[in-house]
A and B are shown apart, each in its own frame.
Chain A
Amino acid sequence: MAKRSNDTHAPVEHEHEHEHHAEPGFWQKYVFSTDHKVIGLQYGITALCFLLLGFILVALMRWQLAYPGQPIPLLGDLLGNVLGDRAISNGTLTAEGYNMFGAMHGTIMVFLAIVPLAFAAFGNYVVPLQIGAPDMAFPRINMASYQFFVLGGVVMLTSFVVPGGSAQAGWTSYSPLATTIPTSGQTFWLIGMVLLITSSLLGAVNFIATIIQLRAPGMTWMRLPFFVWAQFVTAFLLLLAFPPLEAAGVLQLMDQVAGTSFFLPTGLATSGAEEISGGGSPLLWQHLFWFLAHPEVYVLILPAMGIVAEIIANNTRKPLWGYKSLVYSVLMIGFLSFIVWAHHMYLTGMGTKISTFFQTTTIIISIPSVIILTCMFVSLWGGRIRFNTPMLFVLAFLPMFGIGGLTGLPLGFSYSDIHLHDTYYVIAHFHYIVAPGTIFALFAGIYYWFPKVTGRMMNEFWGKLHFWLSLIFMNIVFQPMFAQGMAGMHRRMYDGAATYAGAASPGDGAVVGLPDVFIDMNIGISQAAWALGIAQIPFIINFFYSIRKGAPVTSDNPWDATTLEWQTPTPPPHGNFVKPMKIHRGPYEYSLPGGEEDFLPQNQTAKTV
């Protein structure tokens, strides 16, 4: 490691082409930066914007579900002008418009909001700091990764205004449906996906190389903070699961633009489209898609678990209970998540043998998930819990993730999935994991690391308000969906299943359709969803207000934390650490008896009395 002179402004010159020694200009510093912290923030801000956009789309859809056929108040006409008649006519969301919004909601949320936020933003900012590295292993590739991400996002957004509108076949883009919808939006979707996948691959390579190569001396594998482990496994999932989807994307793109029939079966009747050569396999798309998309759902949750673990240890002032079990479980999940994918395809007519295999692996994978959750719950036991905003979000994460995970089990068995597949039950299942689960963990992470990034604390009162409102409305939104789903409401009905509305059968008075009570739930759900949106306003205000006016931190380590990111100046300078780090202990040395402080940072040799 290079010796540093004490004067930070005159570091020893090396032939490092892209390290700027002079004060970099605005563009170098904020736009084309290779500093992992800046890139992390770029990812974070962009992804938060996409999160908002994804939410706005679904808020509009919820209007249509609650009040089918009625014009969207206030925004309807305006949107109609922008998006055209096809999507919104006379201020009302059309069926096609509904499909566009639905497909883009899913795509944006998964690929442009949650993954970039959980993996790229938090990972980029925190991982190098936590392992005591000066930056990522490949800073320029890191920058390229962000640029591909932005490019992919722009292509996705452009698709809203191309002729025919954006993609309409759901975030899963099942073929042949996706290929037969006459819109060039699907082509944009595919190109966008290829760009986003490229971005993720570059990121994944970088993360893994960084974690393997750049751990500071003494930072052994079993001394890594759990967050780093989670990101490490996540990176592997992205690295190995995304390429098949990239391949599938290229194949569907060929179907779309080169007239091939990879996913189009012989005899497919397409409306007015050109003749096709046929011979393709629709199921092949589903295999390739879910081969990515199941690992992808763990990409959504593992970084969140990492954040939760950090905050629990810090705020219970106790070592995590079962650190090793946590690590082995997360490795186990990573491993197994590659061989469960066809549980999304039970209803495609697969045979019993293969279905049994996938049911078995699906149920086995819930074991490590349960171990992780258990460890986290047990970690709370006997702790002196500090109920600050990050901790509240984390405490809510645990049961919410629990609900999401447990409701996955009935989906994992093919015989119960026959009833539940493609209903609102599935929607509720994964939203419980991603929304009050992952998103809460992400909020917790923002509140927790905010002081390190800005040097100021976020306001606790507004934070707590944000938390309680979010928690309440999240549950009002998603809990009824379980009921709707079990009653049989399909997940992609444009009119909120009004067509299925149950009339009493004339003879015996038995309800033959969907009972009204389930359809009426749509109204309550929608209102709660909008309220949930309003509940984010305290957060947005708090966020921007605190950047400039929040209470300044009194030390570099305001939470009295042990991990390395808190042992740096605030905010950390380019190169992160003032002096090379040497690590002497595990990540969670809290509750030490005696002495003034109850914790020992990882880089400290002995307890300072």
Chain B
Amino acid sequence: MSESNDTHEIQKEIRTYLLVFGALLVGTVLTVMASLIDVGAAWNMTIGLVIACTKGFLVAGYFMHLMSEKTTIYAILAFTVFFFLGMMLLTVAADSDVPAV
């Protein structure tokens, strides 16, 4: 890769960062507004988490460059996500599968 090419790339990326920045601010405002409207606890929860996940995805994907990372990193994170979900879901499942007394 030549120097100027690199520079060009970076400048393009900077534009992306600013776009993401905007999106994150919008997301923040949205999530606050959505929480003020009562659409039932379950829906409020879902909406809130969906927005949070989207924001998280933007940060991880663009600021942390996960959109274009190396396979090794993806592999490490895949394991992590698997165990993360295992821990969370199985714990919650175990907690709710309690025989009636």
- Using a CB–CB cutoff of 8 Å, the interface residues on chain A facing chain B are 212, 236, 240-241, 244, 281, 283-284, 287, 291, 338-339, 342, 345, 349-354, 357
Contacts and interface: CB of A to CB of B under 8 A. Distances in A.
A354 B86 contact: no
Sorted nearest first, the 4 A-B pairs with minimum C-beta distance are A351-B97, A354-B97, A354-B94, A287-B91
28 contacts: A212-B72, A236-B79, A240-B79, A240-B80, A240-B83, A241-B83, A244-B87, A283-B94, A283-B95, A284-B91, A287-B91, A287-B94, A291-B87, A291-B91, A338-B83, A338-B86, A338-B87, A339-B90, A345-B94, A349-B98, A349-B99, A350-B94, A350-B97, A351-B97, A351-B99, A352-B97, A354-B90, A354-B97
A212 B90 CA distance: 31
Binding site of A, secondary structure by majority: helix, strand, loop or mixed?
helix
Contact of A342 (B72, B79, B83, B90): B90
Contacts of B32: none
A352 B94 CA distance: 10
Nearest to B76: A208
Nearest to A291: B87
Nearest to A356: B97
A354 B79 CA distance: 22
Contacts of B99: 349, 351-352
Contacts of A339: 86, 90
Interface in B7-47: none
A287 B80 CA distance: 18
A350 B83 contact: no
A284 B92 CA distance: 10
Contacts of B95: 281, 283-284, 287
A241 B83 CA distance: 9
Contacts of A352: 97, 99
A342 B94 contact: yes
B1 interface: no
Contacts of A350: 94, 97-98
Contacts of A283: 94-95
Contacts of A236: 79
Nearest to B84: A240
B99 to A, nearest CB: 5
Nearest to A338: B83
A281 B96 CA distance: 12
Given A241-B83, A351-B94, A354-B93, 16 more contacts: A240-B79, A240-B80, A244-B87, A283-B94, A284-B91, A287-B95, A291-B91, A338-B83, A342-B90, A349-B98, A349-B99, A350-B98, A351-B97, A351-B98, A352-B97, A353-B93
Q: B79, B91, B99 — which one has the most chain A CB atoms within 10 A of its CB?
A: B91
Nearest to A353: B97
A291 B72 CA distance: 25
Contacts of B91: 284, 287, 291
Nearest to A237: B83
Contacts of A353: 93, 97
A297 B94 CA distance: 22
A291 B83 CA distance: 10
A608 B94 CA distance: 61
Contacts of B90: 339, 342, 354, 357
Contacts of A345: 94
A338 B91 CA distance: 12
A338 B94 CA distance: 15
A350 B97 CA distance: 6
B16 to A, nearest CB: 29
B80 to A, nearest CB: 6
A246 to B, nearest CB: 13
A339 B86 CA distance: 7
B79 to A, nearest CB: 7
Nearest to B72: A212
Contacts of A241: 83
Contacts of A349: 98-99
B81 to A, nearest CB: 11
A481 B98 CA distance: 33
B9 to A, nearest CB: 25
A281 B95 CA distance: 10
A284 B87 CA distance: 11
Contacts of B86: 338-339
A236 B87 CA distance: 15
Contacts of B87: 244, 291, 338
A350 B94 CA distance: 7
Contacts of B72: 212
Q: B79, B90, B98 — which one has the most chain A CB atoms within 10 A of its CB?
A: B90
Contacts of B98: 349-351
A339 B85 CA distance: 10
Nearest to A342: B94
A348 to B, nearest CB: 9
Nearest to A281: B95
Interface string B61-101: 00000000000100000011001001100110111011100
A462 B97 CA distance: 56
Contacts of A281: 95
Contacts of B93: 353-354
A349 B94 CA distance: 10
A296 B60 CA distance: 30
B70 to A, nearest CB: 11
